[in-house]
């Protein structure tokens, strides 16, 4: 259970570290219209999904660098 909380906490911290990137993407989505807005919205979703799915790989690399 402790590992799950540590994983979720690390994931949340990792997403917060990317706050400016996500803010820029969200701002672009708000300012666009029509099909461009749809495409950017889908790309934001895909980006977040890939970022979350690759978190364990990046976390293992960070743990090895700290040793």
- C-beta of residue 23 within 8 angstroms of C-beta of residue 44: no
Domain that holds residue 28: 2-66
Other CB atoms within 10 Å distance of the CB of residue 22: 15
- What number of other Cβ atoms are within 10 A of residue 46's Cβ? 10
Please determine, for residue 65, whether its predicted confidence score (pLDDT) is greater than 70.
no
Specify whether the CB–CB gap between 32 and 40 falls below 8 A.
Answer: yes
What is the pLDDT at residue 42? 93
pLDDT in tens, 17-59: 888 888 888 898 999 999 999 998 998 899 889 988 888 887 7
The domain total for the chain is 1
pTM: 0.65
pLDDT for res 19: 81
């Amino acid at each position: 259970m402790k590992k799950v909380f540590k994983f979720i906490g690390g994931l949340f911290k990792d997403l917060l570290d990317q706050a400016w990137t996500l803010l820029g993407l969200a701002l672009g989505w708000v300012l666009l219209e029509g099909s461009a807005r749809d495409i950017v919205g889908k790309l934001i979703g895909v980006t977040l999904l890939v970022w979350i799915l690759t978190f364990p790989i990046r976390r293992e690399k960070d743990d090895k660098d700290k040793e």
